[in-house]
Each structure stands twice: as C-alpha cells, then as structure tokens.
C-alpha cells in the first residue's frame, strides 16, 4: 500500500473528515494531561507525546450499558409487577487517533480475555469489530517505556490500521489494513524526499537496551507467592489508589452495578481495580486479598504469571504477558512503584527459591 503524507496543518481537517463517518476519539491536552475525547468542533488533536490514559476506553468503555430494565405495575393489582429487559444499543463505528503502538497491541490481550477465554463477550466483540486504530509511531522511548520487554517496539504495527510516522512538516501515513487504506484515500502520496527522510529516521531508531528474559517469570513468581516479606517490601509504598490499573491498556477487570431510576434503570459495567480492598470483599466479611501486599501480588502475578500460564506462546523469545510495556503505571504512580523493578526482583529472588 502506498505511503501517504499527512501535513501538520491538514491534521485537524483530516480528523474532521473522519469524525463525519465515525465516532472519533482524539487525544487533546487538558492541563498537564493528554486525554482521549470524542471529537467536537474546534478540537485540536495533540499527537506530540503518548496520551496520559491508554486507548482501552475505545474497546472497554469506562462505563458501558449491559442492559436496561423497566418495571410495569399491573393496572388491576398494583402489588404485582412485570419487568421488561432490553439490549444495549450497538456501538458506533470508531476511529482512535493518536494511539501508540503499545496501545494498539493491547487489543490482542483484551481479545484473549473477552473473546478467547471461554464465554465470548458479544458486546466487546461488536465494539472491537467497529474500532480502527490510527497509531503514531514513537520517535524515541521515554525512560518509563519498556515495550521491548513484551515483544513490541516503538514502530510495532500489531493491532494498528494506520501507522503515522512523524517527519518534517507532518506524518508519513501508511495503511496496515484495508480499512486503514480507506481512511487514507484522500491523502496525497508522500514525496520522495519525505520517504528518504523517514528511511533515515527508521535506520537510526534508538536502541531500547537489554530486556530481561521473562520466560522464567511465571515459575519464579509462584515460588515467591507465599513469601509475604517479599510482597510487603515491594508494596510498602503502594497507596492502593488504583491509578495503575485505570491507565493500563490491558487491565480489564470490571464491576457490574445497577443504576436505578424508580421503575426503570440500567445495568452497567464499569472499570474496577484489583488494587482496592473492596474488589474481593465478600458479603460475609471475608476478604481473600485484604492486605495491600496481596493485591499488588495479584496485579503483577496476573500480568507476568497467570496470563502466560493461561495463554502460553512466545514472540521473539519472550512469553506473551498481559502488559505492553507502555509504562503508564510507572509514570503516573504517585509513589513511584515501578513494575519493572518488581519483575526484576521476582526473576532475581525467585531464582534461588
């Protein structure tokens, strides 16, 4: 597929064009954060750095309607009620502009849970099929980035429909899928000089540095499972705020609650966090993960032990882990908990166990 050119000053116009046919989620600056917002007139997309929040809301909205219910009182006997249920509306076709390769790759990991684990979640499946990713390749890696640990990289195309490569004056836009090709139909072909510049940039991408071998992580995690001194130490700073899980592109745990408005209402799914003590609190008062150390252990364990055990497979010598190395949990943690350090500690201290 031909490489096209998206000039900086054509970006907003292009976004407007997409927004006519799709629900467009675009990153915009709000204060110091860069967040995805549904397109609105006068919005200026900002692609200058990775968004603060991941793009998972496109596939797994923060709040999503699962069903609506309506009670009707029987006119002849008001103590009797009937209830009627209705399916949620189908999702709108969506384009996510400005995702990063680590975000686009997360879709595969969400698919594992919602499409492949057992019961296929048709609500997710419909949203997944209706969503396109226009991804911006990363020119450099921030010091919290570790996509190369997880089989990804700054220019990984996995999960993207279009890749945008930053060059002078704009982006080289390359379609990865046919749906992506349609998004780019109106753009001019990239000039030869621009393609030469891009080749130079791609030839001199920064070296990401060594990545630890994660193949031993599941076994070593389990060896350390009962070592509460280890987990108490690793979680000593953690506040259980859950920001790591909310910003994570692959954390997919959710809650289901009813929102009641008298005789009608809806059942919604909302993002939940295993970092909260309430997450596992049972009606009896029993809580299998009452301690912070147990909860941090679950988050790290899920990503680097339980997921690879459930979905065995390797890419580039690394097991598939439920993490794309986006580093948001490190960057936004108020107390600087660093999952890379925890994983390295597991690999090191679990070895001799």
Residues in contact with other proteins by CB under 8 A are: 66-67, 69, 71, 80-83, 85, 87-88, 90, 113-114, 117-123, 125-126, 222, 225-226, 252-258, 260, 265, 267, 269, 272, 274, 279-284, 286, 288-289, 294, 298, 301-302, 305-307, 309-310
Q: Which is nearer to other proteins, 62 or 257 (CB)?
A: 257
Rounded to a whole number of angstroms, the minimum distance from the CB of residue 276 to other proteins is 10
Q: Which is nearer to other proteins, 4 or 269 (CB)?
A: 269
Rounded to a whole number of angstroms, the minimum distance from the CB of residue 246 to other proteins is 14
Distance CA(218)–CA(11), nearest Å, equals: 44
- Furthest-apart CA pair in the chain: how many Å? 80
Residue 295: name the closest of 278, 275, 280, 279 by CA. 275
Rounded to a whole number of angstroms, the minimum distance from the CB of residue 141 to other proteins is 30
Q: Which is nearer to other proteins, 172 or 296 (CB)?
A: 296
Residue 88 φ/ψ, nearest 5 degrees: -70, 160
Distance CA(330)–CA(325), nearest Å, equals: 10
Q: Which is nearer to other proteins, 233 or 258 (CB)?
A: 258
The string of DSSP codes covering 310-338 is HS--EETTEE--S-----HHHHS-TT---
CB 338 within 8 A of CB 296: no
3-state helix, strand, coil in the chain (%, to 5): 35, 25, 40
Task: Name the 3-class secondary structure at 262.
Answer: coil
Q: Which is nearer to other proteins, 136 or 346 (CB)?
A: 346
Rounded to a whole number of angstroms, the minimum distance from the CB of residue 79 to other proteins is 8
Q: Tokens in use for 92?
A: 């709108």
Q: Which is nearer to other proteins, 14 or 294 (CB)?
A: 294
Distance CA(7)–CA(189), nearest Å, equals: 11
Rounded to a whole number of angstroms, the minimum distance from the CB of residue 237 to other proteins is 22
Rounded to a whole number of angstroms, the minimum distance from the CB of residue 103 to other proteins is 20
């Amino acid at each position: 597929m031909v490489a096209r050119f998206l000039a900086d000053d054509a970006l907003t116009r292009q976004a407007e064009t997409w927004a006519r046919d799709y629900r467009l989620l675009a990153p915009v600056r709000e204060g110091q954060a860069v967040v995805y917002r549904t397109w609105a007139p006068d919005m200026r997309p900002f692609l200058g750095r990775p968004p603060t929040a991941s793009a998972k809301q496109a596939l797994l909205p923060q709040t999503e309607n699962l069903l609506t219910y309506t009670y009707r009182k029987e006119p002849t006997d008001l103590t009797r009620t009937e209830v009627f249920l209705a399916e949620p509306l189908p999702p709108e076709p969506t384009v996510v502009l400005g995702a990063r390769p680590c975000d686009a790759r997360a879709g595969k990991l969400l698919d594992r849970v919602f499409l492949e684990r057992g019961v296929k979640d048709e609500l997710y499946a419909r949203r997944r099929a209706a969503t396109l990713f226009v991804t911006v390749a990363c020119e450099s890696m921030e010091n919290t980035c570790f996509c190369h640990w997880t089989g990804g990289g700054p220019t990984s195309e996995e999960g993207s429909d279009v890749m945008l490569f930053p060059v002078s004056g704009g982006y080289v836009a390359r379609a990865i899928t046919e749906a992506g090709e349609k998004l780019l139909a109106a753009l001019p072909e990239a000039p030869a000089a621009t393609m030469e510049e891009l080749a130079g940039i791609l030839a001199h991408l920064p070296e990401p540095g060594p990545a630890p071998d994660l193949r031993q992580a599941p076994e070593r995690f389990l060896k350390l499972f009962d070592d509460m001194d280890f987990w108490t130490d690793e979680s000593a700073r953690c506040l259980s705020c859950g920001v790591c899980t909310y910003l994570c592109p692959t954390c997919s745990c959710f809650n289901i609650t009813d929102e009641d408005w008298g005789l009608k209402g809806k059942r919604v799914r909302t993002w939940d966090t295993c970092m909260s003590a309430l997450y596992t609190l049972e009606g009896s008062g029993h809580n299998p993960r009452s301690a912070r150390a147990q909860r941090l252990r679950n988050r790290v364990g899920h990503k680097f032990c339980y997921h690879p055990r459930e979905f065995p497979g390797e890419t580039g010598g690394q097991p598939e882990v439920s993490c794309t190395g986006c580093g948001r949990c490190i960057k936004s943690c108020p107390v600087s908990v660093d999952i890379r350090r925890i994983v390295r500690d597991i690999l090191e201290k679990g070895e001799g166990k």
